[in-house]
A and B are shown apart, each in its own frame.
Chain A
């Protein structure tokens, strides 16, 4: 009915009130606390922080609570909040070689200095529903190693790259200050720093599908998981008024160094190339997908064909953001009846003209 497409402020307020009730669910069931979400739904929190571009587990947990567990909605909330925060500057590049590692694996060398560290991973769990979890109770404590890990584990690739078989990152990619995608619009051709920022904020599902497509032949780049590491790393900042470096604190990070098919160029002898992925918290699927897509987007600069979706920078970077995408897809719910009215007029006019033409033809035939 007509009134359904129009609505006053009261209708909106009432809808919000109902939403709040739905969010709470059955009041006889105890309410979730932010701390519970932060501690027990940590991977959801990590994803919201990553794609929300804001490292704050409490706010991410709050966003998840407010969004009723909807991750894209929670990311949206966090991003909108982030807009209101003052920007002080950019941190120094993170030294992930100095990461306090909880997990570190490499698929390209059997053993690596410091060893392979499996850490807390789903990888070798059998995906059987654990009905014991339906009851409450704490798990038995995990066994401890006899000796702690080395304080830091240097990056596998850097350690094992004495021969220069794997490309080193170009210094220009690390130029300071880095561009900020949330302050300046994307432009093309986009520098790698800009592309990586976009991918880091990009929708995990979108990147997963794109990365997967490169493995299935749409822009193959022969990836090997050079190293995946997860742990805590310090964030440092140089306040202009101080002029020296101070540590702001530690954040949890997952990093993926992908090693890919070799390439040579005018200036470089053949060597393996790299793709890079990173996420806040523990997000290996995201970091690996990102690394695959990063490498795919380097196709043009490496002189490769660029005929697959994952290699098309405009296609990938313009469609990776789930906050943008959800808004535009869902804006179709907004009234469009003025446009539709215009189209109605057109179609009616065309049908009338067609009918008149048919009538005229009939009259002519009758004469």
Chain B
């Protein structure tokens, strides 16, 4: 295969005052791949994700992205207009707290349809139908299409947030602890759903999680972060079964249930 990486991160660094939250991080993301970033809280993984997703400015580094049209662009250096356009068409961002990624007082259908409307879709009936289809996809009762997500359970809100992101068939989705804050049984269902959707749509994803169980289920490959740096990386099974770095060993041994 002469595949090219869809995302190439190089030398990414971000400081807060005197503290360096992310130091010189580099990795590639391949088409259809799910990359997990693990580490304990404060290790810099969420900051890294926010820098890649343009939610926080990075101090140094580049995020080269291969667009659907086949161009390679540095997301960090791109003019804002183009960057935002890519972010809302070819990228998705799933927040840990679905309240940050949803309009809570707008109906589920409106939430799903927003990206389509931004792309110029102007037929109410078809927009609503697209929303119904997506609710089905993410296993939300389609009768709830006109209800605002304020009244949804945490798991439903998270699934709705995922549908809202995937409706434009993005090529890269960044997820920040997508199962955090959910009950274990709800987590399991969401994980199944994510696995299925990722395979069906062929999206590439970067998932930040502190939960090695989630990482094992979803990720093809893992990066382990500590103190803002990547200390180890590799295929998920290899890394979890045969961790090399002492920190990874500690992380794996402290998560016995995996």
Q: Do A and B come from one complex?
A: yes
Listed in ascending order, the chain A residues whose CB lies under 8 Å from chain B are: 263-266, 303
Q: Is B15 an interface residue (CB 8 A)?
A: yes
Q: Which residue of A lies closest to B18 (CB)?
A: A264
**What A residues does B16 contact at CB under 8 A?**
303
CB distance from A269 to the nearest CB of B (A): 9
Interface residues of B in 187-220 (CB under 8 A from A): none
**What A residues does B17 contact at CB under 8 A?**
263-266, 303
CB distance from B39 to the nearest CB of A (A): 22
Interface residues of B in 1-57 (CB under 8 A from A): 15-18
Q: Which residue of A lies closest to B15 (CB)?
A: A266
Given contacts A263-B17, A264-B18, A265-B18, 7 further A-B contacts (CB under 8 A): A264-B17, A265-B17, A266-B15, A266-B17, A266-B18, A303-B16, A303-B17
Listed in ascending order, the chain B residues whose CB lies under 8 Å from chain A are: 15-18
**What B residues does A263 contact at CB under 8 A?**
17
**What A residues does B18 contact at CB under 8 A?**
264-266
Shortest 9 CB-CB distances between A and B: which pairs?
A: A303-B17, A264-B18, A265-B17, A264-B17, A303-B16, A266-B15, A263-B17, A266-B17, A266-B18
CB distance from A138 to the nearest CB of B (A): 58
**What B residues does A265 contact at CB under 8 A?**
17-18
CB distance from B228 to the nearest CB of A (A): 15
CB distance from A179 to the nearest CB of B (A): 25
Q: Which residue of B lies closest to A263 (CB)?
A: B17
CA distance in complex: A263, B16 (Å): 11
CA distance in complex: A263, B17 (Å): 8
Of B15, B16, B18, most buried by chain A (CB within 10 Å of CB) is B18
CB distance from B102 to the nearest CB of A (A): 20
CB distance from B22 to the nearest CB of A (A): 15
Q: Which residue of A lies closest to B59 (CB)?
A: A266
CB distance from B14 to the nearest CB of A (A): 12
CA distance in complex: A264, B16 (Å): 10
CB distance from A177 to the nearest CB of B (A): 31
**What A residues does B15 contact at CB under 8 A?**
266
CA distance in complex: A67, B18 (Å): 54
CB distance from A264 to the nearest CB of B (A): 5
**What B residues does A264 contact at CB under 8 A?**
17-18
10 contacts between A and B (CB under 8 A): A263-B17, A264-B17, A264-B18, A265-B17, A265-B18, A266-B15, A266-B17, A266-B18, A303-B16, A303-B17
CB distance from B16 to the nearest CB of A (A): 6
CA distance in complex: A263, B18 (Å): 10
CB distance from A221 to the nearest CB of B (A): 15
Q: Which residue of B lies closest to A265 (CB)?
A: B17
**What B residues does A303 contact at CB under 8 A?**
16-17
